[in-house]
């Protein structure tokens, strides 16, 4: 019998976990051909999330959980889940019921047809503001242009991954993770499913614009060094203009003599160049920061507890 892991990262989700479990159970009941593992990753929740998960585990042997040592963020929670998942396939799903579990049977059907990565694409985004939708669109367009990997627009982390993809993702151990891009980067046979994304069932989204901005920079710097090239290009262009302007100034001085003038233009040029220099430094800084973070080679996370067992800090399941 094939085994499928349902991977659910959860951070402060006490209000929705029971609802999620009920709906999931309904869906899984119709799939008697498979064995399931419902793997919760408690990402350092400060509410009753962990207790609820433990309660569910007592009721249902299919439930297992990892309790991370603190809040690491969803990206890390996901890789932790992939490290611990035991299934032949893994379905990653949000705890807040924005990803309908009812799609899982269809994902499994495609998986059986031989697809390795069946991802759910949002047909609509209810409960999200116009601003979020349009900035998201703009970001994907930029990312697409800058990096050469086709990154699926309007696609979240809700997807089924074959064991091969899971093993591939487990080898990408960078600390600053942009998982959405990694799914594309690893390749394999992909299949798209369309669905209507519902608003959050209850509770609060953990995202704000500051974090989204961070994620956007992450997305770009993780996958492409085009911004570095952009600053070289800008530098070259400005040097060219400066050279031409120099000749203009020289000719003017020689031919017409030079009454001292041009304070405004001088000021503008200095400020403009200063801005460009700082921008370029910032771009370089982004990448240096990334090198700094990666070269520390820290483990991605520590697990406090796996199914009730305390995990020693040095013991990494993945290796
Ligand atoms: N999540 C997590 N750690 C965090 C933030 C979020 O594990 O630090 C989980 C959260 O519990 C949920 C999923 O990631 O299952 C998506 O989070 P959220 O709904 O806040 O994001 P959105 O749907 O608004 O993109
Ligand atoms: Mg959500």
The answer, yes or no, to whether any atom of ligand 1 lies below 6 A from the CB of 116, is no
Can you give the residue range of the structural domain that contains 163? Answer: 3-222+299-310
pTM of the model: 0.80
User: Which whole number is the average pLDDT over 285-311?
Assistant: 88
Atom in ligand 1 nearest the alpha carbon of residue 93: 15
pLDDT digits (tens, 9 = 90+) for 260-279: 777 878 888 888 888 888 88
- The answer to whether residue 315 sits within a structural domain is no
Q: Is 9 in the pocket of ligand 1 (CB under 6 A)?
A: yes
How far is the C-alpha of 27 from the C-alpha of 300, rounded, in Å?
33
> Given ligand 1 and candidates 91, 96, 133, which is best to mutate, with the most ligand atoms within 8 Å of its CB?
96
Question: Would strands 309-310 and 303-306 be described as parallel, antiparallel, or unpaired?
Answer: antiparallel
pLDDT 10s digits, 210-253: 877 887 888 888 888 888 888 888 888 988 888 888 888 888 88
- Do 86 and 156 share a structural domain? yes
On whether residue 317 sits in a domain, the answer given is: no
- In this structure, the answer to whether residues 244 and 268 fall within a common structural domain is yes
Model confidence over 47-66: pLDDT tens digits? 999 999 999 999 999 999 99
Cα(106) to ligand 2 centroid in Å equals 21
In the chain, pLDDT over 90 holds for what percent of residues? 40
In this structure, the answer to whether residues 305 and 288 fall within a common structural domain is no
Specify the number of domains making up the chain: 2
* Shortest-distance Cα residue to atom 11 of ligand 1: 10
For helices 104-112 and 17-29, angle between their N-to-C axes, nearest 10 degrees: 40
Token pair, residue 219, equals 């997305």
């Amino acid at each position: 019998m094939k085994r499928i892991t349902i991977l659910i990262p959860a951070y402060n989700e006490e209000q929705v976990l029971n609802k999620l479990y009920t709906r999931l159970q309904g869906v899984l009941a119709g799939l008697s051909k498979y064995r399931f593992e419902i793997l919760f990753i408690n990402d350092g929740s400060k509410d009753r999330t962990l207790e609820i998960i433990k309660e569910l585990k007592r009721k249902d042997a299919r439930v297992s959980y990892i309790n991370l040592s603190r809040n690491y963020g969803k990206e890390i929670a996901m890789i932790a889940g992939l490290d611990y998942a035991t299934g032949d396939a893994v379905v990653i799903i949000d705890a807040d019921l924005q990803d309908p579990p009812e799609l899982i049977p269809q994902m499994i059907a495609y998986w059986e047809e031989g697809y390795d990565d069946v991802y759910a694409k949002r047909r609509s985004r209810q409960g999200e503001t116009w601003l979020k939708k349009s900035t998201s669109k703009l970001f994907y367009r930029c990312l697409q242009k800058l990096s050469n990997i086709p990154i699926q627009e309007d696609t979240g982390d809700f997807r089924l991954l074959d064991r091969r993809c899971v093993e591939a993702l487990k080898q990408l151990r960078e600390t600053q993770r942009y998982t959405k891009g990694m799914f594309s980067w690893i390749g394999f046979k992909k299949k798209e499913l369309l669905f209507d994304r519902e608003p959050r069932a209850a509770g609060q989204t953990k995202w704000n614009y500051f974090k989204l901005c961070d994620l956007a920079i992450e997305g770009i710097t993780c996958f492409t060094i085009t911004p570095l090239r952009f600053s070289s290009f800008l530098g070259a262009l400005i040097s060219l203009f400066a050279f031409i302007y120099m000749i203009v100034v020289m000719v003017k001085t020689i031919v017409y003599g030079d009454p001292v003038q041009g304070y405004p233009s001088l000021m503008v040029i200095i400020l403009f160049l200063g801005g460009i220099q700082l921008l370029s430094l910032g771009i370089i800084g982004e990448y240096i920061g990334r090198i700094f973070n990666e070269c520390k080679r820290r483990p991605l996370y520590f697990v406090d507890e796996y199914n009730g067992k305390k995990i020693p800090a040095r013991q990494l399941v993945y290796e």
